[in-house]
Structure 1
Amino acid sequence: MMKKMGFRGRTILWFWGIVFSLLTGMLLAMFLLSINTMRSIVRGLFKGMARNIVLQLESTDNRRLTPAQIDHLFALTNDSGNFSFAVFDREGKLLHHSPAFPRQWLTKSRVATPGKLRLLLVKSGRHWHDYLSEWCFLYPYRSSQHIVLIYGIFRFELFERLLEGLGVVCLLSVIIALPASYHFSRRTLRQIERIRQTAESIQQGNYSQRIPLSDKTNNDLRLLVTNLNQTFSALENAIVVHRRFSSDVAHELRTPLTCLIGNLEVTLKKDRSVEEYRDVLNSCLEDARNLALLVERILFLNKPIDSSKFRDVRLDKLVDDVLDSLSSFPLFHNHTVDFHRPEEPVAITGDSILLQQMCTNLIENALKYSPPNTKVSIEVSTQKDNAVFMVKDEGIGIAPEDQKHIFDRFFQVDPSRSSGSGLGLSLVKSVVEAHGGSIAVESAIGRGSVFTVILPRSRSAATQH
């Protein structure tokens, strides 16, 4: 039933339960305190009555009292007519009793512990609205020669008032709970309704929408709304990046595909020689390879790097292998490549294939964007617990406003002069960050660029050092 009930209904029920429990607890505590006080008063009253009876009994010389004496004792102890008594000797033999004394308590075995007041019965009064208001007590008193039992009936309205009070408590708790819970649920639901409206708006495509906050919002809801707004901001940024990335990918794929389709359409318009077909096919093959490389790089940038496969790699030897593989390209021989090798081996922990791709991209960029017959300097060194890989060229340089964007995907400083995809440096940065390193660039127009990669050395090498 609680699951089917709305938030406002559950709030009203919770408030009512809390208020009802508090008021009922207070009423019950007052009732128990009153009962304890009442028992103390009855015990004192019965004790005084028993003493008077014992004094009258022990003041007589004979053990058998005359009826006149019994009536006199009864009159002394029964002004209201609600009390009666029974007298036993020390052996428990009944000597005399009031006519109204209950017979089930006249047997010898019924003589109870002296001085202990016993509640025998609580019964209804004479009228239907009395609600168990008559209380019957028994009090034993022992003297040196006699045992006296006092039996009395008291009319207390405490229980009656308690039941009436419970009804008042129910009504009062509802009266208090309804406006309080309504006010609380209204404030809470108002903010929840704002959250729902904002979520619905974002679902419809308004990604910049945020949940408004008021000064009256409580701390718990304020924290929730703040976290949700931060989540919505991160979602918006992710969607913007995804859209830009999708647009850039579509643009980068469209250009080579358009060239490829155009070359094939032009070639098929008329018959050509075998050599012409071969040239066109070679050109198309080159375009297809570039497309495959572009797709491969896009997939790489969107795939997490598994660091569990990292192994110790010699960075200086890895750079030597990259230079050997690049030495077969004509572009390599148009420049002076100077590699400053370290005096001792420099080991890092990582993926050798990814690190080789990183070094290749940086060295290729230095060769590609430097005029012929210029120098490209490469250096591997150590800096405390880090390995440093630096590539310096004397090329065209990068403007200061472009330096903060060169690691963005598909960014190109001068697209008209570049034949690349704009993913090379993005790939380099991804590899460096996956290995726990950093990359920085220093450049000036017409003075060349310096790319510096800092990677943590392997633990074994750092310890030996």
Structure 2
Amino acid sequence: MEGVRDKWDRTPLRVRLTAAVLVLVAGSLSLISVSTILALHSYFLGTVDEELETQLLSWSPETFDPDNIEDSDDTPGLRPQQYLFSVLYGEGNRLDRPTDRPDYPVFDYDDLVRADGEAFTALSADGMTRWRVLGLPGSEVGTNDPDYDPEEHNLQPDAYYVLSYKLAHFDKTVAGLVWVDLLIGAGVLAGLAAIGVGLVRASLSPLRQIENTAAMIAAGNYSRRVPEHDPATEVGRVGRAINSMLTKVEGALRAREYSEQRAHDSEERMREFIADASHELRTPLTSVRGYAELVRANPQMPEADRQHYIRQIEEAAKRMGLLVGDLLHLARLGQERPVETEPVDLAPLAHEAVTAHAVMAEDHEFSFACAPGAATVVAADRARMRQVLDNLLSNALRHTPAGTHVRVELASEDGTVLLTVADDGPGMEQETADRVFERFFRSDAVVHPGSGLGLAIVAAIVKAHGGTVQVASRPGEGTTFTVRLAAEPTDDPEAPAPDRILGNL
């Protein structure tokens, strides 16, 4: 039993559903067929019994004349070869009938007594033919005829006068009906099996889609989802629940991947920071150690030389301090912490930065311009925006000769503030322009070498504010840096344009 149950449990659902439907249909058809055949059988036998009783109760005197028994196969009013008339006497079960053929029914006196006037079924002597038999005592035969007198016709009261009906035709009809039912039932089952398989397959198609989706997800495709179905159906509700679960699982996995990626990136940045710091600090540290050893090894060194070497040590220490500060600043920016922002108007901020550099670098020309009506307010950290301006202007000073014109311009388009720092200096090759935002990258054409971190800091600050910075340059045509930041709506639309507030340098 357990083995059968295990096999049933391992059977595919579509096979089990189809088999269950077919079993129910087969059972229903069988019940209908059996009920129909039994009803027909009962109706036909009732009709035969009624006919037999009517014939015995209303038989004419000539019919029961013993001299006519030999011709009883052709009894008036009865169909030949279907009815058989017999007389059974109680003494020794003596039976009078035309002949004693093997297809005639077999019964005795006791059978008629037990039947007590009710019809019963008897088999022929060869067991091949069924007969419906009704026997009545002589005292009851012909009682429907008021003029009939049993004693006048020598009918014995203790003898049974028997009328039998051959059921061969009826049995053949029933057998044919059974075969018709079997053939029709088989055809109906075959048709229903085909329809059932199609319906079950169509009904279970969403489950196969869920199965395929689950297989793809197990293979690593976490973005897959179960196709949507009517939520009023069981499959629709299951699909919706699975999709909801998959969304949460995918979110958790992405959060974990993001966390792991951030941890990996943080580790990579730390390694880069250590490597960069080690590399960049090696030269000034070597200078400090060399000058210090030189001063210590020559105690009689002239005071002027001693002061010169001490100033060199101080300059190297200052460069190391600036370098370490820039590295720490880049490291903090690389942690992707949220920037504390406030509305910052870039127009006065840019004007201040340009003015300050114009004072420090009198050998360069500076100008500032703001497009009329341009949006200049952004959500930013004021100090870091000033650092962006200072680094871009300082970069222009380091990479251009005296007499170069440096322009700072502000404009806006499509909700974006454009900050441009351009010069008409010597420009640079595209290969150099592609690397200017890398840490510690220094161009061979630099006029005043720096730490190589200024533009990297600019890129990091702009990225932290959700903006972009780009460079365009060609040899002999100058260099242009363009910073794009989202504009912040102003509270006072009637405020004068920045160019009228500041003017141009």
Give TM-score scaled by structure 2 length.
0.48
Q: What amino acid maps onto 1:335 in structure 2?
A: H
1:258 equivalent to 2:250? Answer: no
Cα 1:440–1:33 shift into 2, 3 Å: closer
Where 1:333 maps in the other structure, the secondary structure is coil
- Deviation per residue, 1:345-368 (Å, 9 max, x gap): 832221111110110011111122
The answer as to whether partners of 1:385 and 1:462 remain within 8 angstroms in 2 is no
Q: Structure 1, residues 409-439: CA drift from partner, whole Å, max 9, x if none?
A: 2222118865322221122122233334333
Tell me which residue corresponds to 1:333: 362
Question: What aligned pairs does 1:283-322 form with structure 2 within 5 A after superposition?
Answer: 283-302=312-331, 303=333, 304=335, 306=337, 309-322=340-353
AA matched with 1:288: A
Alpha-carbon displacement from aligned partner over 1:255-304 (angstroms, at most 9, x marks no partner):
23333333333333343688877665554444334334333333443434
1:398·1:449 contact (CA, 8 Å) conserved in 2? yes
C-alpha contact 1:412 1:418 (8 A) present in aligned 2: no
Report what 1:39 is aligned to: 31
Q: Distance in 2 between matches of 1:299 and 1:73?
A: 118
1:76 to 121, 135, 157: 121
Correspondence 1:191-210 to 2 at 5 A: none
**1:426 matches 2:456:** yes
With over 3 angstroms needed to count, the CA separation of the structure-2 counterparts of 1:396 and 1:20, relative to structure 1, is closer
* Corresponding letter in the other structure for 1:421: S
Structure 1 residue 446 displacement after superposition: 4.4
Structure 1 residues 260, 415: closer, same or farther in 2, change over 3 A? farther
1:339 deviates by: 2.9
Task: Establish whether residue 443 from structure 1 lines up as the match of residue 476 from structure 2.
Answer: no
8 Å Cα contact 2:358/2:364 also seen in 1: no
Distance 1:416 1:441, change over 3 A: closer
In 1, Cα distance between equivalents of 2:408 and 2:278: 36
1:404 counterpart residue number: 434
Instruction: Report SS of the residue matched to 2:343.
Output: strand
- 387 and 71 in structure 1: CA distance in 2 versus 1, 3 angstrom threshold: same
CA–CA distance in 2 between the matches of 1:292 and 1:77? 126
- Give the residue type in structure 1 aligned to 2:25: L
Q: Which residue of 2 aligns with 1:359?
A: 389
Give runs of aligned pairs for residues 446-461 of structure 1, distance below 5 A. 446-460=476-490
CA contact (8 A) 1:316 1:342 kept: no
User: Can you list the C-alpha shifts for 1:239-261, whole angstroms capped at 9, x where unaligned?
Assistant: 99997776545422322333333
Deviations 1:33-65 (A, max 9, x none): 332233223323432444435874795899xxx
Equivalenced residues, count: 306
Q: Structure 2 counterpart of 1:269, which letter?
A: A
CA separation of 1:251 and 1:45: change in aligned 2, threshold 3 A: same
CA shift in 2, pair 1:335/1:308, >3 Å = closer
In 2: Cα distance, 1:370 partner to 1:351 partner: 29
Cα distance between partner residues in 2 of 1:360 and 1:38? 97
CA distance in structure 2 between the aligned counterparts of 1:391 and 1:301, rounded to whole angstroms? 22
**Aligned counterparts of 2:478 and 2:396: Cα–Cα separation in 1:** 9
Change in 2 beyond 3 A, CA 1:434/1:359? same
CA contact (8 A) 1:361 1:424 kept: yes
1:379 and 1:391 in contact (8 A); partners too:
yes
Query: Secondary structure at the residue paired with 1:452?
Result: strand
CA shift, 1:399, in A, is: 1.8
Give the Cα separation in 2 of the matches to 1:77 and 1:31.
37
Q: Unaligned stretches of 5+ in structure 2?
A: 1-5, 58-110, 128-211, 224-256, 498-505
Q: Distance in 2 between matches of 1:463 and 1:18?
A: 75
Residue 459 of structure 1 aligns to a residue whose secondary structure is: coil
Structure 1 residues 392 and 306: alpha-carbon distance in aligned structure 2, compared to 1, 3 A threshold: same
Where does the alignment leave 5 or more consecutive residues of structure 1 unmatched? 1-13, 81-187, 189-216, 226-230
Q: TM-score, normalised by structure 1?
A: 0.52
Q: For residues 320-347 of structure 1, what are the alpha-carbon distances to aligned partners after superposition, in whole Å with 9 as ceiling and x for unaligned?
A: 3324544664xx1232333335666832
Rg comparison, structure with higher value? 2
Change in CA separation of 1:26 and 1:73 when aligned onto 2, cut-off 3 Å = farther
Q: Which amino acid aligns with 2:402?
A: P
- State the secondary structure of the residue aligned to 1:76: strand
DSSP-derived class of the 1:313 partner: strand
* Distance in 2, Cα, partners of 1:381 & 1:446: 25
Q: Percent identity?
A: 23
Q: Are the structure 2 counterparts of residues 50 and 377 from structure 1 closer, same or farther at C-alpha, using a change threshold of 3 Å? A: closer
Aligned to 2:87: none
Cα pair distance change 1:53/1:349, threshold 3 Å: same
Deviation at 1:398? 1.2
Q: Equivalences for 1:201-240 in 2 at 5 Å?
A: 221=219
Q: Which residue in the other structure is 2:80 paired with?
A: none
Q: Residues 49 and 77 of structure 1 are in contact (CA less than 8 Å); yes or no, is this contact kept in structure 2?
A: no
